Structure 1
Amino acid sequence: MTVNLDTRSELSTPHAENAPLLGQSLAQLTDWVVRQGQPKYRGKQLYQWIYQQGARSLAEISVFPKAWREEMGEGAIGRSTLHYRSVAPDETRKYLLRLADGLIIETVGIPTENRLTVCVSSQVGCPMACDFCATGKGGFTRNLQAYEIVDQVLTVRDDFQRRVSNVVFMGMGEPLLNTAQVVAAVKCLNEDVGIGQRSLVISTVGLQGRIHQLAQYKLQATLAVSLHASNQRQREQLIPSAQHYPLQQLLEECREYVEITGRRITFEYILLAGVNDSKENAAELARHLRGFQTHVNLIPYNPIAEVDYQRPTRDRINTFKKTLEGENIAVSIRYSRGLEADAACGQLRASRSQLEAV
C-alpha cells in the first residue's frame, strides 16, 4: 500500500503554535499567519522569505509590520547557528551547526563547475558503529527533525550564494532509523526549495524491513545501500548490525524495492586494503548483483585516526572495477572530496578544537 505523501503533517512533527516554521508547506504557513491575526496573503510572503530569501528570523522580513515582527521575536523560523566552518583546497566546505538544544551536527557543501551538492546529516551522531566510520565512534544522541535537515541545505546555499542542485543523505546518522522525518525533508526540499527528487540520494547500511517501508512512499529519490563487503562474514566484521540481517535477505529486500518503485539502486562499497578489495571479492560481489537493476559506487577508504585501515593502491582499485565490468556490472569510482578538512565520506566527527571554536 502506498503511503500518502500529500499531507506534510502526516510525515513530520505534529503542528503546534510554537513549532518551527521551516519545513512547513505554503498551506501550513498560511494557516499559521491567519491564526496570528494576519491577512492570508502574508502566508505567501512568509513562504518566499523562508525558502527563497533564507530568512533566519521574522525580524528580518521587512514586508511584515514592524510591531508584529517585534512581538514574534527571533526564534519562530527554526534556523541553526553556524558554529564552525572549514574550507578544503578543493573548495569543499564543512560546517558544524548548533541546533536549538545546543547539540552540534555536521554538513558538507561540495561544489563543482555545474553542481552544488550538500551532504546532510539525519541524526545527531550514529548508532550503527560501522568499524571504518568516524561518526559511529562518537555514539548516538537523537534523530533530527525535518526542518533541521532542510536548514542544512539552506545554510550551504546561502554560504555559497548559489543554487543547490543535489542533496545526499550521507552525513551523520542512519536515515532509515528516521524515515518519517527524512521523507518529510525530501518533500520539502523538492516542493519548497525546488530540488528535483531524482537529484536526492538516501543512503542506508540496510536494516531489516526499513527498505520495504521506504519503498511504500514511492519516492523518485535514489536509494544508496552501503554493502562494503561481498559476503556475510565481512559485513559482520565491518557493520555490527549485519549480524541481525543476512546479506541475502538484504538483497531480496533491495530487489523488492526496485520492483515497487521502478528505481535503480546504487550500492556503495568502501574499498579497504587487504580486507575487501581482492579480485575474488569483486567476483563474489558480481555474483550477488547479476541481473539486478543497479549501479556500484566504489569508494577508496578515507582514513580516520581510530582504526588502522588503509586505502588500496590505484592498481588494486582499477582491478576491482574491471572485474565488475567484466561481469557486466555498472560501476564507477568515487574519489571523495574534502579530505583535508575531514569532510570526506566516513570522516564526519568534529574534533575537540572544532567543537570549542567560537
Structure 2
Amino acid sequence: MEYLDFELPIKDLEDQLQKCTLIGEESDVDVSETCDNLQKKLDKTRVDIYKNLTAWQRVQLSRHPNRPYTMDYIKALAGDTFMELHGDRTVKDDKAMIGGLGKIGDQSFMFIGQQKGYNTKTRQYRNFGMSNPEGYRKALRLMKMAEKFNVPVVTFIDTPGAYPGLEAEERGQGEAIARNILEMTRLKVPIICVIIGEGASGGALGIGVGDKILMLENAWYSVISPENCSSILWRSWEYKEQAAESLKLTAEDSKKIKVIDAIVKEPVGGAHFNREDTFKTIEETIMKSYKSLKKLTPDKLVEKRMEKYANMGVFKE
C-alpha cells in the first residue's frame, strides 16, 4: 500500500500494530490489550483524517496509484459479459478511451470511459488517460450504437484532460468534444455519468453529458487542474493548494452548484482502501438511477436533459 503525505500518521500506527501483533505471535507476552488500544487509535485517526480533507488532499486521493480505474469498475460490474469494442472507423483505436457492451444482472449497458495505466509501460500505452479526437469519436460511435438498440449508456470519467498535442489539434480535438456534447444532449437512451477520479476540462465533458451525473466522494470536477490554474495565475505550481480551494472542484462543491446530481460515498480511506464496497455502492447507485430513468419516454428523457443543462449557471441578482 502506498501512502500520501497526509496519511503518514496512519502508516505509523499500522506499523506499530503490525509489530505488536508480531511480538504476541513470537513470544509468550500478552500484548492483546496494547494491540486493541492501537487498533482503536488507528480507527479514530483514520476517521479524523478523512473527514477533514482539504480540496488539494482530495485531488491527491483521486490520483492515488491504487485507486480503481475504469476497467476495474467494468470488470466488477459486468464481469465476463463485457465485450470491448474498438476503433472510430476513421483513424485508429484510441487506447485511452475504452468502451463496449456488458450486463449488470439482466440489464445490458454500453460502458464507456477513460482508462489510465497501472505502471509506466501501461500509462504510456493508455496515454495517461488523455484521449485523442479518435477516442471521442469512438465513444460517440458506441453511444449511437447503444441508441440504435435501445441500450442505456454508462460513462466513467477519469482524465487529467483531453490530449493537448499538436496532432490531436490537427485531427480536430475541439470539434470532436463539441460534437459529443451536442449528440449526448439529444441521445434517446438514458445516460449515467460517473466521475470516479479526475474530471478535468473538456476531456471530461466529452463523455460527461448525461441524465444523472454521479461523483465519487474523493473525485474532482473542474474546468482546469489546480496545477495548471496555479501556473497561469501565479506563474508557479507552488500555489496549487490555494487554486484547488478556489476552483470549488470537490464533490460537495459540485453538488452545491448543481453541476452533479449525487455524491457516492467512499469507504473510509478512499475507494482504493475497500474496492469491493466501492464497486457494490457504484452498482447500486447506477441501477437505482437507471430504474428512475427507464420510466421516461425518449422524448421526455431528452427534454429533461436539455432543461437540466439550460438551467445550469442561472442566478438572480
Q: What TM-score do you get using the length of structure 2 for normalisation? A: 0.38
More helix by share: 2
